[in-house]
């Protein structure tokens, strides 16, 4: 394989589709959102992306097999199509999800892979791209995460702000696909935005993912059952509480609270 390739599992042609991108990143907020939607709506896989820019790894499967690392495209129908939502009129019946094991490991790979994704999405009828990322403000767990955003045009910013997304307050750089995909989408005349859940330095921040899912339900004008993400959130908070107790009362009796200072980093 000498370049990035996308293989169809099933041929599709969409109309005014929205793509939600949930790839690995800070707090794995994007991955949690993408995989949660895939499961909750029983999304159907229709495409797989392989690239020599991905890490040279294979994943061992539960049945003892193996597969190449990849990004995968799924599709489900928004049954609330045309009914509108609190954040504005729902503009799409087809929802495309892009989830995956990894992102490209080099700047050259990031540019090639992300533009390939946008070209493919536009070819099958895509119109709007929403990437999901984590917005790290400090090293502490965020109990009430805010959702920040940047968008490709003023009209889209006005629409998304009605759903509770905060514009003009986030700063810094957006690394990887969360930033490059909206930029390439704008280049190809597609509406685009990066939606970022506030997060601390957690491996899996289900609380931040829940805040993003709540916003997405308004943006897309559709109901998303959050019962299962609540269970993950509760388990995370229980684990953090146990760690705090150990830090305060463990051997040595020191209080190892994390610093509230930290660099803003979005991915």
pLDDT of residue 258: 42
Tens-digit pLDDT profile for residues 57-92: 999 999 999 999 999 999 999 876 554 444 444 444
- DSSP labels, the chain: --S-EEEESS----SSEEEEEE-S-GGGHHHHHHHHHHHHTTPEEEEEEE-TTS-S-EEE-TTS-EEE--EEEEEEE-TTTTT-BTTB----SEEEEEEES---SSHHHHHHHHHHHHHHHHHTTEEEEEEEEEEE-SSS--SS--EEEEESSHHHHHHHHTTT-EES---S-B-THHHHHHHHHHHTT-EEEEEEEEE-S-SS-HHHHHHHHHHHHHHHT-----HHHHHHHHHHHHHHHHHHHHHHHSTT----PPPS----EE-
- Give, in order, the Cα–Cα distances in Å from 20 to each of 55, 128, 190, 197, 249: 23, 9, 13, 14, 43
How far is Cα 206 from Cα 29, in angstroms, rounded to an integer? Answer: 7
CB 141 within 8 A of CB 199: no
The phi, psi pair for 71, rounded to 5°, reads -115, 145
The CATH number that domain 5-249+258-266 falls under is 3.40.50.10900
The dihedral formed by the CA atoms of 134, 137, 138 and 144, expressed in degrees to the nearest 10:
-70
Q: What is the mean pLDDT of the chain?
A: 87
Give the global pTM.
Answer: 0.85
- Give, in order, the Cα–Cα distances in Å from 236 to each of 102, 203, 207, 245, 263: 23, 10, 8, 14, 23
The residue extents of the domains of the chain are 5-249+258-266
pLDDT of residue 141: 76
Per-residue pLDDT of the chain (267 residues; tens, 9 = 90+): 789 999 999 889 898 899 999 999 988 999 999 999 999 999 999 999 999 999 999 999 999 999 999 999 999 998 765 544 444 444 448 999 999 999 999 999 999 999 999 999 999 999 999 999 999 877 777 788 999 999 999 999 999 999 999 999 999 999 999 999 999 999 999 999 999 999 986 788 899 999 999 999 999 999 999 988 877 767 766 666 676 667 676 654 444 444 444 444 455
pLDDT of residue 257: 44
């Amino acid at each position: 394989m000498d370049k990035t390739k996308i293989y169809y599992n099933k041929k599709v042609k969409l109309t005014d589709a929205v793509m939600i991108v949930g790839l690995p990143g800070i707090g794995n907020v994007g991955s949690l959102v993408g995989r949660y939607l895939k499961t909750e709506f029983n999304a159907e896989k229709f495409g797989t992306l392989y690239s020599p820019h991905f890490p040279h790894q294979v994943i061992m499967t539960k049945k003892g097999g193996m597969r190449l690392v990849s990004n995968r495209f799924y599709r489900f129908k928004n049954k609330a199509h045309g009914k509108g939502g609190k954040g504005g009129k729902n503009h799409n019946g087809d929802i495309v999800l892009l989830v995956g094991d990894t992102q490209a490991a080099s700047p050259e790979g990031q540019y090639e892979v992300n533009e390939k994704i946008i070209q493919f999405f536009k070819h099958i009828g895509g119109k709007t791209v929403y990437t999901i990322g984590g917005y790290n403000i400090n090293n502490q767990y965020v109990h009430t995460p805010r959702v920040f955003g940047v968008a490709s045009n003023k009209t889209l910013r006005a629409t998304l702000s009605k759903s509770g997304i905060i514009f003009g307050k986030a700063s810094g750089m957006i690394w990887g696909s969360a930033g490059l995909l909206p930029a390439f989408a704008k280049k190809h005349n597609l509406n685009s935005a990066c939606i970022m859940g506030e997060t601390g330095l957690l491996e899996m921040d289900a609380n931040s993912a829940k805040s993003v899912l709540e916003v997405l339900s308004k943006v897309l004008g559709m109901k998303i059952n959050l019962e299962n993400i609540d269970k993950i959130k509760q388990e995370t908070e229980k684990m953090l509480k146990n760690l705090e107790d150990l830090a305060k009362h463990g051997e040595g009796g020191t209080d190892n609270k994390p610093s509230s200072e930290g660099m803003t980093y979005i991915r």
